[in-house]
Amino acid sequence: MKNPNPDPVSRYEIPVWNQDVQLYEDYEVGEVDRSLRRTISEGEVMLFNSLVLDMHPYVGDDIWAREHGLFKRRLVPGAMVFSYGLGLFAHNNVNTFSYGYDKLRFIKPTFIGDTIYGMRTLLEKSPKYETMGLIRVSYEIFRADNEELVLYTEHLQTVLYRTTQAGNIAVQVKE
């Protein structure tokens, strides 16, 4: 069998799959993206619970949830819905840096076996630093079976400029 990519040096000249290189100037307020859908399994919930030590009976005790819980079934922890919901949009942009989150709200419950998806909207952008601007993006995470909004948050990100506010080249884009 012949290796179609035998040269290790030339392999690194190929752009990385799913790597985004957008700069501040490339983003347009009002842009909207929809994610893939994803079903959340019991095994994933229990693994997440054990990693973060969240053993609240609503998420970790099926008998308690059925007999005493408000929803009569186990919930997916909100932190997991947040993590998975935003993860559905992972784009690996090497020019953006998380600045934080605002307005994180768990609107409705998410249950084991639910399928979720999200909508991401660029709400605003503004200059921030000499080499980076700030964008604010909303994330709406929905349960796919009934289209209920289950989570809302706004993500603030700094993004490198193509040119600095002083007009100097901030980032040299490899064509």
pTM equals: 0.87
Model confidence at 166, in pLDDT bands (50, 70, 90)? Answer: low
Top CATH class, 19-160: alpha beta
pLDDT on residue 172 = 59
pLDDT above 90 coverage of the chain, percent: 78
Distance CA 32, CA 10 (A): 35
The pLDDT tens digits of the residues spanning 10-55 come to 988 888 777 888 999 999 999 999 999 999 999 999 999 999 998 8
- pLDDT above 60 (res 174): no
Query: Domain boundaries in the chain?
Result: 19-160
Mean pLDDT of 53-71: 94
